[in-house]
Chains A and B, each alone.
Chain A
Amino acid sequence: MDPRASALDRAILSFIGRYAAARPPDGEFGALALRLFEHQVRHNPAYRKFCEGRGVRSGRVRDWRGIPAMPASGFRELKVAAFPASRARKVFWTSGTTAAARGRHFLDTLKLYEASLVPPFERALLPDGASCRFFILIAPPREAPHSSLSHMMGVVARRFSRAAARYSIRGGRSLFDALARDLGRERRPVMLLATAFSLKAFLDHLASHHRKLVLPRGSRLFETGGFKGRAAEVSKTRLYRMTARLLGIPSAWCVSEYGMTELSSQFYDAVAGRPATRRRSMRGPAWTRTLVIDPATGREAPHGRTGLLRHFDLANRGSVIAVDTEDLGRRAPGGGFELLGRVPASERRGCSLAYEELTAR
């Protein structure tokens, strides 16, 4: 590895170590962010061209907020890597139906990725230091080597699960009966880790078989991913209500995670076991920042106004520090941001009324 990249990694790892549980001074974040930006402009050809196109030159950016953010679609169309992509140790792919439409995140080391994911996970899901067995409704890393979520499951399970974690999606099949049976036998707290979609399918399975489980006290839910436009969409409130009714996990023990393949860090909307006093908002670790961008001006949206989310992630050393997403959000009153979903795909035009309009009245 390039010695300058190694030096940066050491600085970032030290930052993560020092601020795993505290917020750093903005100046310290900014200084490291600018150092990272300079490195990426120099070593990431796609990003350098992108910045040149924007008229932004190395050495000219004084504030981390001015670092050009690569659109998430850039990960689909370009090789966004600050090292020769042939030297990637790991490539994570975004979800999608065709290879052409999928984004790739190249990593030349997993050190930063793994160091970045552990402390926020621990803080959000295991603040009480509980010893939980993990039941995972996500494909295991061996079966989905290009999924960053599966990789993350592997890391947290190895690190925190009381006994060997159980994966209940195998060979593309959901093993709901076995999962229900195994969960029913547990006498100590468990952690169920699922995407919103797989969780809903499991809960529907329980309901259709007239089964209800009461998981041991202190059991908790890690839920991620939303439905991304799938038909069986339900609100998070309803999903958590179903979780409480069918699994016995109260909503105060349900934590939602928001992550992107294009980032190395994750965001959480609650701390397990701590009742939410206000509307849930997503918070990232100290080495991330999120801006809500007003698309009409390209600048930060006024407080409370909906805009497009732009994330800065120091752990993204191998790609780009700043990513422009197609996710909608707004700044939350107490810090963090409220996630308001994905920009809907453009409505098809023509002399048309939407199916929903037809059936609405």
Chain B
Amino acid sequence: MSVPAAYPALVRARQAGPERRPVRAIARALGRLSSRWLDPKFPYRRRALRRLEPRWPGAMAARALDALFGELTERKLAAFLRAELGDPRVLDGFRAARAGGHVRARGRELVLHVTPGNVPNPSVVGVVLSLLAKSASAVKLSGRDPGLLGLYLESLRRADPGLAASVRVLGPGEDWTAWARAASLVVAYGGDRTLEAIRAKVPGGTPFQGYGHRVSAGFFTAPVLSAALAAKAALDVWMLDQGGCLSPSRFFVGRGGVMAPEVFAGTLAAALGRLSGGRAAGAERARNIELVRRRLEVRALRAAALRPLVFRAGRWAVVLDREGTLAGGEGTVVVRPFRRPEEALAAIEVLRAQGEPLQAVALEAPGTERARLAEALSRSGANRICRAGAMQNPPLSWHHDGRQALASWLEWTDLER
């Protein structure tokens, strides 16, 4: 088995850098850098916006950076470490364990990250978590990488070269499979086929954390429907141009309240149109919207249903799907009305059976009903239940794909008395 030539240097940089520092010091350094990234005048932030704005125009890119670095401040990192590890100093040495004796956690020697191309945040989060774990990182960027990680690492090199030296982005054409063989942990994002392909390159004994395909949705009961809620829902769809696993493609909307689902759908479309500033749909998106519209038109005929409702606004279309058979995505948002919440829960189960597991759900319902539905959605596999308007601001402590973030990347040693 050949080890990549750059491997030993990266491991030495880890030994000389993060491994020698207390985790609190690493969190402080990273947190301070995040605060600078939150400053609109920070040159790296401005360069990043120029890089991201062609794909996520208007205020989208700035909001994405705020959501990302707002979760990576010193205070948030410290809180996150406490939430995941109890006593974060287990990463520095043995600490007293609650169950008696002592416990120590170590990050793996080298983590290979295979990053996604559709959203900018996970690559930065992955590197930050590796640094907190005092691991070295090799990063295989997606062919469609948005370019944020490169700038982040540049800013880290300036702010803290000792930390930055233990991260390496693989060059174009560099054999990532050699790194997959050498790494002590592989973290990858992708569709089922991609994850399978990556996993096939990882030796059997090496832990593999794959973050796969999942869908997100909104779930609003009849009494809470309002124009303000539609505006929040629109924000969740619009952010990152509906391109991430936290981007909702469907909204389950209750019937029988003051606002009918049909009106809600129209209000949602109008809000999306306003957010996009009247930008027209590109060719690919226009085709997708048109094909969804046709399918709906034909299905309505078959079901002898009412005329299909399609609300178009700029580059978006909101369709009212009374049968609940459409998927949404790529510029289309499906509003599926329900009379009883159980109908929507049953539809979610069908999705799960069809290979569309849930990620996040923006859940709005009055009082105890919200808690009851949250319980049901948790049973249905949702790993994040949040408020409308907050879908694209996941806290760092979010159990992505239902797992702990940092704790699952560590190796633990128990010292008994």
With both chains docked as a complex, state the minimum distance between the C-beta of A207 and any C-beta of chain B, in angstroms.
27
In the complex, the chain A residue whose C-beta lies closest to that of B332 is A346
With both chains docked as a complex, state the minimum distance between the C-beta of A114 and any C-beta of chain B, in angstroms.
29
Interchain CB contact (< 8 A) of A295 among B114, B213, B289: B289
In the complex, the chain A residue whose C-beta lies closest to that of B198 is A358
Interchain CB contact (< 8 A) of A355 among B191, B281, B283, B300: B191
The interface centre, meaning the residue of A306, A324, A352, A354 with most chain B CB atoms within 10 A of its CB, is A352
With both chains docked as a complex, state the minimum distance between the C-beta of A105 and any C-beta of chain B, in angstroms.
15
B297 touches A71 (CB 8 A): yes
Any chain B CB within 8 A of the CB of A73? yes
B194 touches A349 (CB 8 A): no
A357 touches B143 (CB 8 A): yes
B301 touches A349 (CB 8 A): no
Give how many A residues have a beta carbon under 8 Å from the other chain's beta carbons: 36
CA distance A163 to B388 in the complex (A): 72
Any chain B CB within 8 A of the CB of A360? yes
Tell me the residues in window 243-277 of chain B with beta carbons closer than 8 Å to chain A beta carbons.
243-245, 247, 249
**Residues of chain A within 8 A of B330, CB atoms compared:** 346-347, 349
Stretch of B42-50, B62-70, B116-124 contacting A (4+ beta carbons < 8 Å): B116-124
CA distance A293 to B288 in the complex (A): 13
Any chain B CB within 8 A of the CB of A308? yes
Give how many B residues have a beta carbon under 8 Å from the other chain's beta carbons: 53
With both chains docked as a complex, state the minimum distance between the C-beta of A57 and any C-beta of chain B, in angstroms.
15
In the complex, the chain B residue whose C-beta lies closest to that of A349 is B329
**Residues of chain A within 8 A of B245, CB atoms compared:** 349-352
B190 touches A53 (CB 8 A): no
In the complex, the chain B residue whose C-beta lies closest to that of A49 is B301
A353 touches B289 (CB 8 A): no
Interchain CB contact (< 8 A) of B286 among A49, A50, A295, A348: A295
With both chains docked as a complex, state the minimum distance between the C-beta of A45 and any C-beta of chain B, in angstroms.
10
Interchain CB contact (< 8 A) of B212 among A295, A350, A355, A358: A350
- Going nearest first, the 4 A-B pairs with the smallest beta carbon separation are A295-B290, A357-B143, A71-B294, A350-B213
List residues of chain A with CB under 8 Å of any chain B CB.
46, 49-50, 53, 71, 73-74, 76-78, 294-296, 298, 306, 308, 324, 326, 328, 343, 346-361
Enumerate 13 A-B pairs (CB-CB under 8 Å) in ascending A order: A50-B301, A53-B300, A71-B295, A294-B286, A296-B281, A308-B287, A343-B288, A349-B242, A351-B189, A351-B245, A352-B212, A353-B116, A354-B191
Sample of 14 further A-B pairs with CB below 8 A, known A53-B307, A350-B213, A350-B214: A50-B301, A71-B298, A73-B295, A73-B298, A74-B298, A346-B330, A350-B191, A351-B245, A352-B191, A353-B144, A354-B117, A354-B194, A355-B197, A361-B143
